[in-house]
Amino acid sequence: MAQYDVYIDEAAVRKAEKQFRDAARNGKEAMGLLLGNVFHSDGSEFVHATDYVTAPNDSTAVSVRFTRQAFSELSGKIRGKGLIVAWAHSHPGYGCFLSSTDMATQHRYFSEKFHFALVMDPTRREGSAMLKRAFRLKDGGYEEVSFAVVRKRG
Ligand SMILES: [Zn+2]
């Protein structure tokens, strides 16, 4: 029984948050990939993201992409660690949503049903955590998906 659409291990979230905070200090966006698996239970499907990987970014205050060289570096980091289940990127100071560029990225590279996009704003907090939202493509637009950050015991 999946209570949430998406589960993300806290360690993976922390890696992304650190990268996003560091980039935001330089006034820049940042991005990376979430790796994990897709599970089926009782007719529902949920995703468990277990790791976060990144490689050199080419970014400004309002845009980010991987450099050309990043892709070979990434393929080595991804091998043996499951599926790419999502991309994560930051919107420093302007909240969590998918821009039209983000939508194009989602359509082009993350169009499987299980793929999601995680967007964080490193300048804003929600409770004690960095503000973050998860989204999936839906019809011509996108929708928010529910997620839980899970902590390993001990
Ligand atoms: Zn964006």
From the CB of residue 32, how many other CB atoms can be counted at a distance below 10 Å? 26
Residue 150 resides in a domain: no
- Backbone phi, psi, residue 135, to 5°: -135, 155
User: Scanning the structure block, which residue is given the tokens 């302007």?
Assistant: 94
Ligand 1 centroid distance, CA of 99 (Å): 5
Residues 6+ apart with CB under 8 A from 42: 1
Q: How far is the CA of 63 from the centre of ligand 1 (A)?
A: 7
The confidence score (pLDDT) of residue 108 equals 95
- Residue appearing with tokens 């990939």: 33
User: pTM, whole model, 2 decimals?
Assistant: 0.94
What is the number of domains present in the chain?
1
The answer to whether 95 and 44 have CB atoms below 8 angstroms apart is: no
Q: Is the pLDDT reported for residue 142 higher than 70?
A: yes
Distance CA 86, CA 145 (A): 12
Cα 148 to Cα 118: distance, rounded to the nearest angstrom: 12
66, 58 contact by CB (below 8 A):
yes
Band of pLDDT at residue 134, cut at 50, 70 and 90: very high
State in Å: Cα 80 to ligand 1 middle: 28
pLDDT tens by residue, 52-107? 999 999 999 999 999 999 989 999 999 988 899 999 999 999 999 999 999 999 99
Distance from the alpha carbon of residue 41 to the mean position of ligand 1, in angstroms: 32
Does any domain span residue 148? no
Q: Is 30 among the domain residues?
A: yes
Instruction: Kindly give the distance from the C-alpha atom of residue 47 to the centroid of ligand 1, in angstroms, as a whole number.
Output: 21
Does residue 151 fall inside a structural domain?
A: no
Which band of pLDDT confidence, cut at 50, 70 and 90, is reported for residue 2?
low
Distance 24 CA to ligand 1 centre (A): 14
CATH number reported for the structural domain that contains residue 125 in this entry: 3.40.140.10
- CA 71 to ligand 1 center in whole angstroms: 20
Q: What is the pLDDT of residue 105?
A: 96
Among 100, 119, 93, 117, smallest CA distance to 26 is for 93
Over range 126-148, report the average pLDDT: 96
Residue 149, domain member (yes or no): no
pLDDT at site 8 = 98
